[in-house]
Structure 1
Amino acid sequence: MLQNYRYFLIVDLEATCCDDSSIAKNDNEIIEIGAVMVDSETMCIIDEFNAFIKPTKHPLLTDFCTELTSITQNDVNKAAEYPAVSKQLSIWLNNYDNYVFCSWGNYDRNHIASESLRHHVPNPISMPHVNLKKAFAKMQKVKKMGMKLALDLCNIKLRGTHHRGIDDARNIVKLMPYIIGDLKA
């Protein structure tokens, strides 16, 4: 399926979170969209989109969330709310055709869809979706695993900060040859 596309849109989201029950699981709000557009022939990143988002349901980040993501209260306070960032993402995506939406698992696809519904705005990514976690596991004949563990398995050093959307999206690109190519972990 991936061979049919000119570009791979790799997206990684970060969301509000806690280590207690102060935020219900279905109340998590997107606080960062990290996206890279990858040329399917060269596997090179040709463009990036990165934006913080100001949460509205739970506007104060927990200490746990900041420690996990390195996203600060100041980062989200200065950011636009989801509808504006979603529109910016749509405008950016209009520069590309024939791409497939890829993410490490289904969480990112599902969360963009639910956040768009909650805010009564169109889903900015209407293209087909590929679960790269599942594709990696199938291609490498291993159990599904997190992105960091997959990088470790392939002896690839994680660059940037884990649990930062843009850094995780960039790191997922490094796994693409193990998903659609001949490389074995």
Structure 2
Amino acid sequence: MSKDFLVADFEFTQYTKRMGRPRGFFSEIIEIGAVKIDGTELVVTGSIQNFVRPHFYPKQAKEGMDFCMITEQDMKQAIEFSEMLAKMSALYVPGQTYFVAWGEEDYKVVAEGCKRHKLDNPLLLEDYLDLAAAYKLMKGDSYTTGLRKATEEQNVDTGGLWHTAYDDAANTGKLLVKLLANGWKPEDYFAAVAELQNKQ
């Protein structure tokens, strides 16, 4: 049986200034977008689109919201971090679902959030598929291609606004489906990663 895919994208707070970093600062998720894709039929079978309430660093959260065009009104409908985990758990079965994102930050931001909120991380690291790294490996490039450029290279019919959580997740999902339909396999990526790790 083919594993399913939970393709996610998060908007989260960041601290980019050289000075004044708050003690213990970490990036907090302020928006989640995700689509679940059936591993056999390659069709979307579920989705998540929510703002997420930050708790630890309100000033940086406001800066992050401004960058992501998230308003105070949006945040009035935001869910708690724990609710976000529950929504992901409803679409993700450990060992039977790949957790897919473009880049390595998305898994890290969930893992750190779980640690700070003192909650169990429902996502297994071994299920994490960094599609940006997989695409880089597939092309044999020495650099990581951006999501938008990758969708253009693969002639993916994208939609929505770039750098919004749900639309980025949906477009990543469309790219994933295109790669799978063209014969790419996640197993090849994981085998290549294991081989590289063994050489180190």
Place the TM-score, normalised by the shorter chain, in its bin: 0.7 to 0.9
Task: Tell me the equivalent position of 1:123.
Answer: 121
TM-score by length of 2: 0.75
Decide whether aligned partners of structure 1 residues 139 and 166 sit closer, same or farther in structure 2, where only a CA change above 3 A counts. same
Task: Tell me the equivalent position of 1:165.
Answer: 165
Decide whether aligned partners of structure 1 residues 49 and 23 sit closer, same or farther in structure 2, where only a CA change above 3 A counts. farther
Tell me which of 96, 99, 102 is aligned to 1:101.
99
Give deviations 1:11-33, integer Å, cap 9, x for gaps: 11110236645666952200112
Instruction: Mark the runs of 5 or more structure 1 residues left unpaired by the alignment.
Output: none
Task: Tell me the equivalent position of 2:195.
Answer: none
Task: Tell me the equivalent position of 1:29.
Answer: 28
Aligned amino acid, residue 85 of structure 1? M
| 2:31–2:51 contact (8 Å) kept in structure 1 | yes
Larger Rg: 2
Q: Secondary structure at the match of 1:171?
A: helix
Structure richer in helix, relative to its length: 2
Q: Secondary structure at the match of 1:160?
A: coil
Q: CA deviation at 1:177?
A: 4.2
- CA distance in 2 between counterparts of 1:40 and 1:133 reads 19
Task: Tell me the equivalent position of 1:56.
Answer: 55
Q: Secondary structure at the match of 1:174?
A: helix
Q: CA deviation at 1:157?
A: 4.6
Aligned amino acid, residue 28 of structure 1? S
Decide whether aligned partners of structure 1 residues 38 and 170 sit closer, same or farther in structure 2, where only a CA change above 3 A counts. same
Give runs of aligned pairs for residues 147-158 of structure 1, distance below 5 A: 147-158=147-158
- CA distance in 2 between counterparts of 1:182 and 1:157 reads 15
Task: Tell me the equivalent position of 1:5.
Answer: 2
Give runs of aligned pairs for residues 66-81 of structure 1, distance below 5 A: 66-81=65-80
Task: Tell me the equivalent position of 2:111.
Answer: 113
Decide whether aligned partners of structure 1 residues 179 and 136 sit closer, same or farther in structure 2, where only a CA change above 3 A counts. farther
Q: Percent identity?
A: 26
TM-score by length of 1: 0.81
- CA distance in 2 between counterparts of 1:115 and 1:76 reads 18
Q: CA deviation at 1:50?
A: 2.0
| 1:68–1:163 contact (8 Å) kept in structure 2 | no
Q: Secondary structure at the match of 1:115?
A: helix
Instruction: Mark the runs of 5 or more structure 2 residues left unpaired by the alignment.
Output: 185-200
Decide whether aligned partners of structure 1 residues 28 and 103 sit closer, same or farther in structure 2, where only a CA change above 3 A counts. same
| 1:102–1:131 contact (8 Å) kept in structure 2 | yes
Q: Quote the RMSD (CA, aligned, Å).
A: 2.8
Q: CA deviation at 1:55?
A: 0.7
Decide whether aligned partners of structure 1 residues 171 and 43 sit closer, same or farther in structure 2, where only a CA change above 3 A counts. same
